[in-house]
Amino acid sequence: MSYELDPLPYDYDALEPHISEQVLTWHHDTHHQGYVNGWNSAEETLEANREGGDFGSSAGAIRNVTHNGCGHILHDLFWNCMSPEGGDEPSGALADRIEEDFGSYEAWKGEFEAAASAAGGWALLVYDSFSNQLRNVVVDKHDQGALWGSHPILALDVWEHSYYHDYGPARGDFVDNYFEVVDWEEPSARYEQAVELFE
């Protein structure tokens, strides 16, 4: 199986002034493409090792599948959690669940912002299928700190390549502006899929 980079679901300048055309171009076309290439390369190595019966490089390739695969999956979710029509709050079943599990939207958002300030990679809202509840998760790199059995609902990339060109070291300003473009349609659909599977 070969993985491909999907085009952005909007124009490169569609999220301005919150995220610049330049950042989206670099981030999507170069950085995200690198994870797709890395995943494909790791899979090719594993396949060749299986066919040849030589597993000397397999452990490294397995790690590369995890790192690059998570990078590809989370970036794909990140792009789809934003749109030019974003900036609202969640509604419907996801909004109700956020209030149930966090007490209020404001409490969830404050905790999510705390996760974003601490992460060395990603702040995620996930559905924890073990505990049957929503959680905020701090993930370093792409896979360190992830919770087994959890399903990403909302993703915020806080690696420096996501914001330094636009905001310099002011990560908090980037996080504030992320909420100006968050589109809850994708997270709501992902939440409903997770609940359908596990509740």
DSSP 168-182: TT-HHHHHHHHTTTB
Indicate if 30 and 121 belong to the same structural domain: no
Residue 38 lies in a domain: yes
* Residue range 118-140, pLDDT digits in tens: 999 999 999 999 999 999 999 99
Q: Are 70 and 143 in contact (CB under 8 A)?
A: yes
Q: Which two tokens stand for residue 148?
A: 């087994």
Structural domain count, the chain: 2
- Residue of 80, 85, 71, 39 lying closest to 144 (CA atoms): 71
Q: What is the structure's pLDDT at 145?
A: 81
Q: Which two tokens stand for residue 140?
A: 């370093």
> What b/e readout covers 15-51, taking b as 16+ CB neighbours within 10 angstroms?
bbebbbeebbebbbeebbeebbebbbebbebbeeeee
Annotation-wise, does 140 bind a ligand?
A: no
Annotation-wise, does 27 bind a ligand?
A: yes
Q: How many residues does the chain have?
A: 199
Indicate if 75 and 159 belong to the same structural domain: no
Report CA 33 to chain centroid distance, whole Å: 15
Residue 144 pLDDT class (50, 70, 90 cuts): confident
Q: Once rounded to an integer, what is the mean pLDDT over residues 42-71?
A: 97
Q: Once rounded to an integer, what is the mean pLDDT over residues 104-113?
A: 98
| Predicted TM-score (pTM) above 0.85 | yes
Indicate if 194 and 136 belong to the same structural domain: yes
Residue 13 lies in a domain: no
Annotation-wise, does 32 bind a ligand?
A: no
Q: What is the structure's pLDDT at 146?
A: 84
* Residue range 87-102, pLDDT digits in tens: 999 999 999 999 999 9
Indicate if 194 and 138 belong to the same structural domain: yes
Residue 115 lies in a domain: yes
| Residue range of the domain that includes 190 | 92-198
Annotation-wise, does 176 bind a ligand?
A: no
Tell me: pLDDT of 191 over 90. Answer: yes
Long-range CB contacts for residues 169-175, cutoff 8 Å, separation at least 24 = 171/116, 171/117, 172/113, 172/117, 175/113, 175/116, 175/117
Indicate if 50 and 105 belong to the same structural domain: no
Mean pLDDT of the chain: 96
